[in-house]
Structure 1
Amino acid sequence: MVPLGPGAVLLTARALDGVPALLEALHAVAEAAPFRRMTVPGGHTMSVAMTSCGAAGWITDRRGYRYSATDPDSGRPWPAMPEPFRDLARAAAAEAGFPDFQPDTCLINRYEPGARMGLHQDRDERDTDAPIVSVSLGLAATFLWGGLLRNDPARRLPLRHGDVVVWGGPSRLQFHGIAPLREGEHPLTGRCRYNLTFRRAL
């Protein structure tokens, strides 16, 4: 366990034992609700492809950022959250000091080489008392861990296959992001990195 700040930790290799079940569940979710690259309110198309599962999914378009109970591409509810997802999120949150975490959504990001995520806060959730649990699968990435203000300096932390980051409490609204993904090939995921981010959104 690597402390990142008050209420924030990196659990190195925490998800490794469950990777086969996680990837099987991930592919089942993506079959029901395919990955898509969304458009942000300013008109820019994100470099990261996304899908969701659970009671709601995070979406963005020219109208803004929000959670929706239905997939806008299909009009159907998002796939249910797989048990391996929920079990890992709850166990990792408990290890980080959040024993009552009950995630109701998981946003799944797919990064290919060159894709990035700029510094941002996760603040679209109604319950910001609950932590964020973020699971890395596949290619290694550089995690940008900033402060509570956008212009605060950001640390650069390596995230490897199986790593889990949990942040809540005083660090819940910390700015964070992912530097452009480097070219590579992972034996289980190919030329991509998957990121599972569990939240209490509703």
Structure 2
Amino acid sequence: MAAAPVDLRGFKIWKGYLDAAAQAELVAALRPVLKAAPLVRPVTRRGQSLSVRMTSAGELGWITDRRGYRYEPRHPSGVDWPAIPRQVLEIWDAVTGLDRRPDSCLINYYEAEAKMGLHQDKDEADFSWPVVSVSLGDDGLFRIGNTTRGGKTESIWLNSGDVVVMGGEARLTYHGIDRIRFGSSRLLPKGGRINLTLRVAT
């Protein structure tokens, strides 16, 4: 675990928060989640497919389809979302110090050409709660913008085991992943990057 986070535009970034053993344990904990609620490639309201595949854990899962962006209590297949693994919740507890735990954990999987455009996380009921992001696998180039579109941005490579807390003014700052460095990590057997984002949705 890093001694102190890097502060980049209000984003608290713990470099190397999880060591190799903790990363492997977390991946093992995610396997039954992905089996129960398989990754899907969602579409936007306009019918455009996202380049990432995603699923969720917790009481609610974030989805996007022709009806728009929202939280739902079930996977698109109709099954309930699996519980958030203990190892994931312990990260939230440690980096936020909050008594309230997240009720949603979005799981994004980035393959070689996947990326995520600049966006705000704003489908939650109360923006006073932070969003916590955990990176596993290949490096991802994380770009941070502003609370409105446009303007100067800054970027930082997120490596496997890094943890980011988006709270305060950073909570509604635009951010995204421009690309991944495919094959930079051996954590995932088929390569790629897993990103977990923990949210208080309700």
- Alignment TM class, shorter chain as reference: over 0.9
Secondary structure of the corresponding residue to residue 181 of structure 1: strand
CA–CA separation in structure 2 for the residues paired with 1:135 and 1:117 = 15
Q: 2:53, 2:170 → 1: CA distance? A: 26
The residue identity in structure 2 corresponding to 1:85 is V
Contact kept, 8 Å, 1:57 with 1:78, in 2: the verdict is yes
How far did 1:142 drift? 0.3
Cα pair 1:146 1:175 within 8 Å, conserved: yes
**Which whole-Å CA distance do the structure 2 matches of 1:178 and 1:80 have between them?**
26
Q: Gaps (5+ residues) in structure 1?
A: none
Match for 1:24: what amino acid? Answer: A
Does structure 1 residue 160 correspond to structure 2 residue 159?
Answer: yes
Q: 2:182 & 2:83 partners in 1: Cα distance?
A: 32
Give the TM-score taking structure 2 as reference length: 0.93
Task: Please tell me the residue identity of whatever aligns with 1:120.
Answer: H
Mapped partners of 1:89, 1:154: distance in 2: 27
**Contact 1:93–1:101 (CA under 8 A) maintained in structure 2:** no
Paired residue total = 196
- CA distance, structure 1, for counterparts of residue 151 and residue 102 of structure 2: 29
Q: Structure 1 vs Structure 2: percent identity of aligned residues?
A: 44
Q: Which residue of 2 aligns with 1:52?
A: 56
Could you tell me whether the CA contact under 8 Å between 1:55 and 1:80 is conserved in 2? yes
Q: Runs of 4 or more off by more than 6 Å in structure 1?
A: none
1:21 pairs with 22, 25, 39, which one?
Answer: 25
Is the partner of 2:172 in helix, strand or coil? coil
Q: Contact 2:135 / 2:195 at 8 angstroms: preserved in 1?
A: yes
1:2 shift after superposition: 0.4
Query: Which residue of structure 1 lines up, in the alignment, with residue 89 of structure 2?
Result: 86
Q: For 1:171 and 1:123, how far apart are their aligned partners in 2? A: 12
Amino acid at match of 2:122: R
